[in-house]
Amino acid sequence: MSSRHSPSPTQIFLRDYPEGYQVESKQVDPGSTFPFPSPYEKYHCVSEEGLASLNVMRPAFMSIPGAPRIIEGTGLDMSVALRPLATPLPGEPAVPVLETATPIRCRRCMSYMSPFATFPSGAQQWACPFCGRQNPLPDSHAFMVETLTGRVRQDIPLDQARPELRLGTVEYACDAVKYRPSTTWALDPSTTLPKVELGSPGGVSHLAHVSDPEHPACASLLPHASADVPSSASENILPVLPAIHAILVDTSPRACVSGLLNAAVQGLSSALASMPDEDRVCVVGYDTVTRFFDLSASVPPELVCPDADNPVCPLPLSRLAPPLSECRATLVSLLQSLQHRMLLNHQEEVARSQGVLPPPLACVATAALVAIGEALEPVGGRISMVLLQRPTKGVGAVPLRETAGVYGTVREKDLIQPATPFYHTLAESFADHMVGLDVIAVGPDPLDLASYAKVAQVTGGEVKYFSGRDQASGVLDSVMLCVQHMVSRVKGYAGHLRVRTSRGTSVSAVYGQCKERGQETHLAVLDEDMVLSVGLNVGAPLPPGSVYAYVQSALLYTTHCGRRRLRVSTTRLQVVHDVAKVYKHADPVAYTHWLSRCALHRMQVEALPVVRDELGTSIVTPLAYYRQQLVTEAESRKLILPSSLQILPLLVYALGKHDALHPTRQPQEGGVITADLRVAEAAWMNRVGPCELVRRIYPSFYDMTSLSPSVGTPIGTEDRMALITPPPLRPASSLLPSLPRSLLMVHAPPRLYLWVGQEMDPQVRMGVFGVETHEEVPEGTLYIQNQTDRHPLQVVATAETLRRRYPGCNRCVVVKGGTTRGHHVRTLLAEDSSSIDKTYTEFLNQLHKAVHRRIQML
Ligand SMILES: [Zn+2]
């Protein structure tokens, strides 16, 4: 078998949906000429009314076995990729906010009313699709009964029925639910969770939430909560306050001179313009001391906390982060002058370094983090930290752990764990107080990112890592975009998520940047980009006659402006009794996403070689079972894959080559995978959705040498306009020989490169870059001076179109062949081999053998 004949996503069209699903390929980006079948891209929605969008809930299998024995021996896991705070894609309905409606819940299983509820006895009762219980409809809500029956009565149009009866995702306003700071929310009183212990010492999960019993939404949401709270505690109850987004920036001489401080400040400045008045944002600087700014003054004075061992924030929140309505102008002027003010602070060091990057000084990064984290405790919030140096002074200082000899040994595993137990404690404390951490880290110096990544992982935060700090690598632009995106995207705070499933099934695990507490998942912070992976377990036969099984997620969270909301999303899976149908309805992209999360989970406890082995063998049993049980007539030795899973081996192979899971790389392949890089890539993988994951591990390559006239021209309707991009190439080793002569765009979100081969046609080079030699081609962010000729404009248009397809994608960076960074692009050829890895063909052959060995064991 040669790789040319092996399955590849550019060749195969697939995907069967169970009956009853009308899947429509809605192209969100109509300019895309992407040849992949719709499941690979997110522009594809289930058009049926009542189901949550596939962008919100994407099952790895669109059907579910009616009994555990049906998938016994197959080795398949059921799962759903869940984006709890998804923004609707173009063409999808907006999420309605029901301001006055009381959420109606099943009295037995506590699931929420959904489009799948039935009304067997008219308007008096509704049957819960999850457990089958017949619940009375609240008769005090006559309006509701009337409209509810609209769903049953055919003469009332569906679009006039209540949103929760026709849409897969709805939101309820729960503002009257009040809470006391430093607490844990009880989303579901029926869980084993929160027993109210007001004022318990130690700060460990001392909860205290109450509902306002007068408010029907609360009574329904937390029916027992008010009974649990001692009345004497009522004076402690405060309304929900808007959470605060703190930007923690490195203000050291090094950060000033390298331009990093300016990049972060610019990112925040450009985000500010579009932020509403009720948002609360603050800036905190750190170098050898922590610097706070009093935004209540018109010229914000700087308050310094020099104590790195017992750091405190010297300002109350009202002065540290007033609402933007009160301090927008002050904040803007602070950002404009920040770089200048910091350069004045560091005059001596900057002068001494004589124009080159000043040497690193003591860094109090963690002390600053602790100070601002404690300050945010009363209201919760998000800290986005820009990091250039390892913390070396004060609380949380970490020693340099990374040495040349440690890679490839058993000790390497320790490097992806926090340096000291301090960070485990910090992570727990942040999670308890609903404070989340994002890290934007800039290499190449070792940063011990593993320590911060732990805090981000537990609190729902994000980790971004840029390995070079120079302008040539485009890092400053990327940092700017990254800060802008982090601040301006749709965000939530103090999230409590509960996933419920039909009788007979249960949730086996929730993987992602979150913290599991009993049956609830806590997300100190969350945003529209975050995706969790929910494992489903079929533990008992489903009730006889079940046609569908249901999955519902309920997320209680605070919006950026302090509104408490409950978002409910529901989907259903077809119940099947034939294992062949389970295979038939598989979604290889969503299944690969689930396998990636399982691998990351195992990485917490196992060494990398073990995790990689497990990943490789995780698909052997399903394929062996299929070959033995479901293929009747075929050549005896041939590897036969179910049509829906043709590309699963390729995706698993490509997953194993991702920086988070790849064991090592040679210098000619882009250099060693440092602990920081691995940690950041693992954190990225633990947060992205199925589409982004697959696009990253199986990047698209576009030939930019000569472009058809249609490339770069607009297509689509006015509200969904896009530009035509060239057709992608298969990222296989067949591209290798021509690389030195190529001009390629490589899209592996969040990265986007323009590869410039050293032997490129001089005419094309001249046409696009206006330079005569390869050496003269400018590295760094793609910038084209020639704004009149078609070809360079098409290159820029393609780059911008591709970038906008994925939220948080970096700007296009020029990478030149023959440089160290150029080697990195070779590793993105997903189907190519690297010195440690097998080729795709070898992998398939090995898989083939393993499958046959397994068949003999069955
Ligand atoms: Zn129920």
Per-residue pLDDT of 305-331, as tens digits, reads 999 999 999 999 999 999 999 999 999
Q: Is residue 226 part of a domain?
A: yes
**Are both 324 and 442 inside the same structural domain?**
yes
**Are both 200 and 321 inside the same structural domain?**
no
SS3 479: helix
Task: State the average pLDDT over residues 213-232.
Answer: 30
171 CA from centroid of ligand 1 (Å):
19
Give the domain-ending residue among 214, 236, 258.
Answer: 236
Q: Give the model's confidence band at 470: pLDDT under 50 very low, under 70 low, under 90 confident, else very high.
A: low
Q: Is residue 408 part of a domain?
A: yes
The candidate with the shortest Cα–Cα distance to 264, out of 284, 280, 292, is 284
Q: What is the CATH number of the domain that holds 111?
A: 2.30.30.380
**Are both 712 and 784 inside the same structural domain?**
yes
**Are both 372 and 463 inside the same structural domain?**
yes
Per-residue pLDDT of 252-294, as tens digits, reads 999 999 999 999 999 999 999 999 998 999 999 999 999 999 9
Q: Give the model's confidence band at 161: pLDDT under 50 very low, under 70 low, under 90 confident, else very high.
A: low
501 CA from centroid of ligand 1 (Å):
10
b (16+ CB within 10 A) / e for 627-650:
beeeeeeeeeeebebbebbbbbbb
Q: Give the model's confidence band at 53: pLDDT under 50 very low, under 70 low, under 90 confident, else very high.
A: confident
Using CA atoms, how far residue 65 sits from 510, 535, 546, 592, 643, in Å, is: 20, 14, 11, 20, 19
Per-residue pLDDT of 781-795, as tens digits, reads 898 887 789 999 999
Rounded percentage of the chain residues whose pLDDT exceeds 90: 49
361 CB-near residues (< 8 Å, 6+ apart):
252, 253, 254, 287, 288, 349
421 CA from centroid of ligand 1 (Å):
43
Q: Cα separation of 703 and 4, whole Å?
A: 19
Using CA atoms, how far residue 389 sits from 347, 443, 485, in Å, is: 20, 8, 23
DSSP 629: I
Q: Is residue 483 part of a domain?
A: yes
**Are both 348 and 472 inside the same structural domain?**
yes
28 CA from centroid of ligand 1 (Å):
36
Q: Give me 685's structure tokens.
A: 């993988």
Q: At 267, which amino acid appears? A: G
209 CA from centroid of ligand 1 (Å):
25
Q: Is residue 474 part of a domain?
A: yes
SS3 286: strand
Instruction: Count the domains in the chain.
Output: 4
Range of the domain at 141: 107-165
Give the domain-ending residue among 455, 488, 521.
Answer: 488
Q: Cα separation of 669 and 834, whole Å?
A: 7
Q: What is the CATH number of the domain that holds 433?
A: 3.40.50.410
**How many CB atoms are closer than 10 A to CB 483?**
26
Q: Is residue 4 part of a domain?
A: no
HEC string of 731-767?
CCHHHHHHHHHCEEEEEECCEEEEEECCCCCHHHHHH
126 CA from centroid of ligand 1 (Å):
10
DSSP 730: P
**Are both 334 and 376 inside the same structural domain?**
yes
**Are both 194 and 303 inside the same structural domain?**
no
**Are both 137 and 250 inside the same structural domain?**
no
Q: Is residue 425 part of a domain?
A: yes
113 CA from centroid of ligand 1 (Å):
9
**Are both 145 and 258 inside the same structural domain?**
no
107 CA from centroid of ligand 1 (Å):
6
**Are both 299 and 421 inside the same structural domain?**
yes
Give the domain-ending residue among 453, 488, 523.
Answer: 488
**How many CB atoms are closer than 10 A to CB 86?**
25
**Are both 223 and 261 inside the same structural domain?**
no
Per-residue pLDDT of 373-400, as tens digits, reads 999 998 899 999 999 999 999 999 999 9
pLDDT at 837 over 70: yes
Per-residue pLDDT of 762-771, as tens digits, reads 999 999 999 9
Geometric angle at alpha carbon 89, from 83 and 93, rounded to 5°: 100
**In degrees rounded to 5, what are phi and psi of residue 414?**
-65, -30
**Are both 231 and 361 inside the same structural domain?**
no
Q: Give the model's confidence band at 850: pLDDT under 50 very low, under 70 low, under 90 confident, else very high.
A: very high
137 CA from centroid of ligand 1 (Å):
13
CA 262 to chain centre: 26
Q: What is the CATH number of the domain that holds 708?
A: 3.40.20.10
Q: Is residue 384 part of a domain?
A: yes
Q: Is residue 464 part of a domain?
A: yes
**Which pLDDT does position 832 carry in this prediction?**
73
Q: At 582, which amino acid appears? A: V
Instruction: Let me know how long the chain is.
Output: 858
**Which pLDDT does position 510 carry in this prediction?**
97
127 CA from centroid of ligand 1 (Å):
8
497 CB-near residues (< 8 Å, 6+ apart):
84, 187, 510, 514, 520, 521, 522, 523, 532, 553, 554, 555, 556
Q: Cα separation of 498 and 111, whole Å?
A: 10
